[in-house]
Amino acid sequence: MLIKELKLLLITLIVLALTACAENKNSSVEQVKKTDFENRSPTLNRINEPLLIAPMIEGIHYCDAPQHLVGVNKETPHYKYCANNEFSMIKQLKDLLNSLEPNGPEGKVQVGYTYGIAVLGLYDKTPDGWTLNKDKITRIFNNIQLVGRPTVVYFLMNHFDTASELSKELSNDKQNLMQLANGEPPIEVYFQAPIIPYTLSVDETIPVNKYRFEALRALISHYSTLPEEQQKLIHSFTLAGEIHHMFEDFQGGMGKFDDIKLTDYSKHSKQEFRYWLAEKYATLDHLNSELLTAFPSWEAVEPPSKNIRTEALDGFYQHVDSYSHGMLPIFGWLWDKNSNNVRNIKIYLNGEYLGNADQNLNRLDVYQAISDLDTPNVGFRYELDFSALEPGIHDIQVVADTTEGEYEMARQKFAYINREQDQPKKIKPVNKIKSLAPASSLDSVRYYVDHPKPLIDVYYNPLAKQWHLYRESQVERFITYTWKEALALGAEQEKLYSHQIPTYLNSSWNTVLFATGQSMRTESKYLPGITLYGGGADGDITKQIYPAMKSRKYGVPEYHSQQYKSYEPSYNALMTHYYGNADFVSPYYMSVVPDDIHQGDEAHKKFLIKEGNANYGSEYLYKAIQEIARD
């Protein structure tokens, strides 16, 4: 009897061991303590509204159209691979998604994918000109049905839609493009890929708009004819892509403040600026009175386009730079090892307390430079409105408010020069300026105030303020126009999201260059979709800056935490979106192109989310997606 019981016990132990091995094989992801989330409840009902993780996929169209391979050397690995897969990457995509969520989309977190559609690539050149190929549209929606996973459809209608022959042709016609003040478009590259700065006008007599909006309408019209079950696979649409103004050195110049070159000075943009001003001020006399200009007619109105420091002006109204709208950013970073020590970063002007800087902003550059810093969220920023100040030399003091008292981080002066460029006088302090010990005397604190530089000169031009507001309205109008077209043709309102860059979230970026402020408001009709990289990947921090993400459902159409020093930030950042209002998150990026024939810029591949890619913590993000999808 004892032997029989021992045998039974042994069999039971073997079964338990095999079961444990099988479970470990199916989930080789390191578990993370979820202490930060123990007392939280999801804002959304995650049973009815699960969080969709929809990675952006490289290579969906890699083997999609055999006619594209005509003339290709049939001995190349590319051709052989596509021929062996019968010109389809559907199986590879399904395998990739199953590696993240093996049992298909189910539960409170589901895995789908983002399907990017470059709308200008839907056209073929025929004897009658460029013709929309509706077979390509049909194939896109057929592919979505074959994959059978929830899909975020990304309408690529911006400066990244550059690969097609039509886009190359359109780039040769300046009326299709945003322009710098010298009349030239800022043709740039991004990770070795060309950038074409298409106009932000919605005038459909402009050729690029004719094609962009015709393709959008065809896609939505096709969607609206699909059976309900196929429509349900389309989880959401992101509208137009990242829409913003362009500037020189697009990849590396977002933090440039001196000698900047802006868009858009094209004929269409300048004319629409006049219409915008006429609607706002009604009469020319009112405009001239409010903006201190002397335009003899509406046709004579010109946007500011010169820098007073380096160019001769015909009138002060022509001056424009990073500060001419009356705002001087004060920013830097502070790392407090003893996280409860520094409570606020206070800004004083001429001895008078103005307010606290926004903190916990993204500074990936600092995170990468300091080996023992475990978060990029050490940036701070304050926008100083100097437009109503008395011209002269003013005194700024940046102060760390700590549990031990106040400590000075920086004290420096700036010169607000009047429009006559008189010698500035020193402004008498409102209060006696505090004499404080330096913040460097705090053992637990490291910091740096990047901006402004000492004794920087600034000039306020009321017309420049209106110019920047108008530039923001161009961005907002383009997205809203796209939203209206999609809605009118049958796309559900709850599926329509923007796809915007939150420039202010990166404390050292120049927000003037992008002009996206109005497109991030709670008042926007479309649902907010916000690109999040680095420290901004943490949704809690982002919602402090952008209230639209608190009050409405939101999407994250591009996402990468870029944190490589430990696993926890990748997991925790995703969890903040699960517990918040996030409808979907689109990690950037995964690929179905085989490694042995995968080409592309090596710097760009650092973002490739896969096992074994330690760059930017991409392997951590891969594991985090697996874990949250299987919980």
DSSP 494-518: GGEE--B--GGGBTTS-HHHH--GG
What residue spans of 499-580 are helical by DSSP H? 511-514, 539-545, 548-551, 568-579
The tokens describing 618, both together, are 């991409």
Strand order in the sheet with 392-402: 352-356, 342-349, 392-402, 405-417, 456-459
CATH for the stretch 50-249+467-630: 3.20.20
pLDDT for res 17: 37
Contact 59, 143 (CB under 8 A): no
CA neighbours closer than 13 Å in the CB half-sphere of residue 510: 26
Contact 254, 533 (CB under 8 A): no
Q: What gap in Å lies between CA 186 and CA 159, rounded to an integer?
A: 11
Three-class DSSP category at 131: strand
pLDDT for res 203: 96
Question: What are residue 486's phi and psi, to 5 degrees?
Answer: -65, -40
| pLDDT 10s digits, 225-265 | 999 999 999 999 999 999 999 998 888 889 999 999 999 99
Range(s) within the chain of domains with CATH label 3.20.20: 50-249+467-630
pLDDT for res 34: 52
pLDDT for res 21: 39
Q: Tell the residue number behind the tokens 């409170």, with chain if given.
A: 108
Q: What gap in Å lies between CA 27 and CA 324, rounded to an integer?
A: 56
Cβ neighbours, 10 Å, residue 509: 24
Lowest-pLDDT choice from 131-135, 339-343, 380-384, 580-584:
339-343
Q: Tell the residue number behind the tokens 């509706």, with chain if given.
A: 134
pLDDT for res 74: 66
Asked if pLDDT for residue 59 goes beyond 50, the answer is: yes
Q: Tell the residue number behind the tokens 């039509």, with chain if given.
A: 166
Three-class DSSP category at 358: strand
Model confidence band, residue 131 (pLDDT cutoffs 50, 70, 90)? very high
Name beta bridge partners: 459: 417
Q: Which positions ≥6 away from 389 have C-beta within 8 Å? A: 416, 427
Asked if pLDDT for residue 463 goes beyond 50, the answer is: yes
In the chain, what percentage of residues exceed pLDDT 90?
A: 79
Asked if pLDDT for residue 20 goes beyond 60, the answer is: no
Asked if pLDDT for residue 19 goes beyond 70, the answer is: no
Q: What gap in Å lies between CA 437 and CA 465, rounded to an integer?
A: 38
Averaged confidence pLDDT in the chain: 90
Asked if pLDDT for residue 84 goes beyond 90, the answer is: no
Q: What gap in Å lies between CA 281 and CA 277, rounded to an integer?
A: 6
Q: Which positions ≥6 away from 121 have C-beta within 8 Å? A: 136, 161, 163, 164, 166, 167
Model confidence band, residue 579 (pLDDT cutoffs 50, 70, 90)? very high
Contact 380, 345 (CB under 8 A): yes
Asked if pLDDT for residue 359 goes beyond 60, the answer is: yes
Lowest-pLDDT choice from 40-44, 115-119, 314-318:
40-44
Asked if pLDDT for residue 446 goes beyond 90, the answer is: yes
Closest C-alpha to 112, from 130, 97, 127:
97
Average pLDDT over residues 509-523: 94
Q: What gap in Å lies between CA 313 and CA 587, rounded to an integer?
A: 47
Contact 504, 345 (CB under 8 A): no
Asked if pLDDT for residue 13 goes beyond 60, the answer is: no
Residue type (1 letter), 520? M
Asked if pLDDT for residue 73 goes beyond 70, the answer is: no
Question: What are residue 630's phi and psi, to 5 degrees?
Answer: -105, -5
The tokens describing 472, both together, are 């923001």
| pLDDT 10s digits, 325-335 | 999 999 999 99
Lowest-pLDDT choice from 137-141, 451-455, 539-543:
539-543
Residue type (1 letter), 601? D
| pLDDT 10s digits, 258-306 | 999 999 999 999 999 999 999 999 999 999 999 999 999 999 999 999 9
Q: What gap in Å lies between CA 580 and CA 574, rounded to an integer?
A: 10
Question: What are residue 194's phi and psi, to 5 degrees?
Answer: -70, 150
Cα-based distances in Å from 439 to 342, 406, 447: 10, 8, 8
Q: What gap in Å lies between CA 360 and CA 377, rounded to an integer?
A: 4
Look at 29 and 129; give whichever has higher pLDDT: 129
pLDDT for res 35: 52
Lowest-pLDDT choice from 10-24, 98-112, 167-181, 217-231:
10-24
Q: What gap in Å lies between CA 315 and CA 139, rounded to an integer?
A: 57
Q: What gap in Å lies between CA 73 and CA 70, rounded to an integer?
A: 9
Contact 26, 102 (CB under 8 A): yes
Q: Which positions ≥6 away from 560 have C-beta within 8 Å? A: 533, 534, 537, 587, 588, 607, 609, 616, 618, 621
User: In the chain, what is the straight-line distance between the N-terminal and C-terminal CA atoms, in Å?
Assistant: 43
pLDDT for res 191: 81
Average pLDDT over residues 376-403: 97
Asked if pLDDT for residue 110 goes beyond 90, the answer is: yes
| pLDDT 10s digits, 474-494 | 999 999 999 999 999 999 999
Instruction: Report whether the peptide linkage leading into residue 452 is cis, meaning its omega lies within 30 degrees of zero.
Output: yes
Model confidence band, residue 27 (pLDDT cutoffs 50, 70, 90)? very low
Average pLDDT over residues 165-173: 95
Model confidence band, residue 3 (pLDDT cutoffs 50, 70, 90)? very low
Q: What angle do CA 156, 235, 241 make, to 5 degrees?
A: 20
Lowest-pLDDT choice from 455-464, 516-525, 614-623:
516-525
Q: What gap in Å lies between CA 249 and CA 257, rounded to an integer?
A: 12
Lowest-pLDDT choice from 84-98, 303-317, 438-452:
84-98
Residues, the chain: 631
> 515-518 long-range CB contacts below 8 Å, 24 or more apart?
515/244, 515/245, 515/468, 515/471, 515/472, 515/474, 515/475, 516/243, 516/244, 516/472, 516/475, 517/472, 518/469, 518/472, 518/473, 518/475, 518/476
Per-residue burial over 75-111, b = 16 or more CB atoms within 10 Å of its CB, e = otherwise: eeebeebbeeeeebbbebbbebbeebbeeebebbbbb
What residue spans of 152-242 are helical by DSSP H? 165-170, 207-224, 228-233
The tokens describing 240, both together, are 């137009």
Contact 510, 322 (CB under 8 A): yes
pLDDT for res 68: 53
CA neighbours closer than 13 Å in the CB half-sphere of residue 149: 29
Under DSSP, the state recorded for 31 is P
Q: Tell the residue number behind the tokens 């989310």, with chain if given.
A: 609
The secondary structure element, H or E, covering residue 457 is strand 456-459
The tokens describing 285, both together, are 């006399």
Phi-psi region of 129 (alpha: psi -120 to 50; beta: other; left: phi over 0): left
Contact 480, 440 (CB under 8 A): no
Instruction: Report whether the peptide linkage leading into residue 154 is cis, meaning its omega lies within 30 degrees of zero.
Output: no
